[in-house]
Each structure stands twice: as C-alpha cells, then as structure tokens.
Amino acid sequence: MYQAPSDDKVKKLLETCKTIAVVGLSDKPHRDSYKVAQYMQTQGYRIIPVHPRVKEVLGEKAYKTLADVPEKIDLVNVFRKSEDTPAVVEQSLPLKPQAIWLQLGIANEEAARIAEQAGIDFIQDRCIKVEHARLLGHGQ
C-alpha cells in the first residue's frame, strides 16, 4: 500500500535531483506539463522531454521513450493517465532514477509497488511545482 513520503524526504529529493525526465511533456504552452516543466527549468533543473510526437520542448531535444535518453536521469516526472503509469515505471527501472513522481491527479498502486520493490522513491498525486515552491520557498 502506497505511503506518501515525508516533507523532509520530498525536500531532499528536490534538492538532489537536478535532471528531470518529463514523460508526456507537451510542447503546447497552455498545458500543465509545459507550465510545470518551464517552472522547474527556471529553478535550475535540467528538463528532458519524453514524448513520442514532439521534437523539442523548452529548448531541449525530446526523446520518444525513456530508453532513448542518453544521459543519467535523477527523477522521472510523469504526465500520463493513471492506467499508463505501471508501464512508465517499468521503463524507468533500467535508468535507476532516485525517484518517480506522478503529477497531481495521477495515482496507481501497481506503479507504486513496482517502484518500491525496485528501491526507487515514489510520489504520486502531487504537483512537483507546488511542492517545490512550498518546500524550497524561492519566492514563488
């Protein structure tokens, strides 16, 4: 059964995870995934877009799948339907990220179990932008 991490744990992840792969990152500025990734980018995070139909977002080359990303990923931030998340977590495992984060409104017990069994921190149904502003309070 999923247990939400403490604020201290979330803050530590936000302080140490500097390269974030955003699965489902849209290139449309009005979409939540774009707004959240743009905010994180302005806060000093490296954003790596992962989307099968997008070439570039926020000045960064987009990759069709997580497996295509050629560099180390610290955190996988997921903007996909809840039922799609177990497969995204499975695809994340070989990359050994510190954490997998499902955005606000996205939750899946199977995805949580897969991540936890692999020893990867897991957060669901929380907005990384909101948590960053709340816990690291950079005047946002």
Reported confidence tier of residue 138, pLDDT bands at 50, 70, 90: low
- Does the residue 18 lie in any domain? yes
Tally the domains of the chain. Answer: 1
Residue 13 maps to a domain: yes
Instruction: Confirm whether 2 is domain-assigned.
Output: no
33 belongs to a structural domain? yes
What are the pLDDT digits (tens) for 103-117?
999 999 999 999 999
Res 114: pLDDT: 98
Q: Is residue 30 part of a domain?
A: yes
Query: Residue 140 — pLDDT band, cuts 50, 70, 90?
Result: very low
Token pair 């502003």 is found at 133
Report pLDDT digits (tens) over 62-93. 999 999 999 999 999 999 999 999 999 999 99
What percentage of the chain carries pLDDT values higher than 90? 94
The CATH number of the domain where 66 resides is what?
3.40.50.720
- Its domain, for residue 50, covers 7-136
1 occurs within a structural domain: no
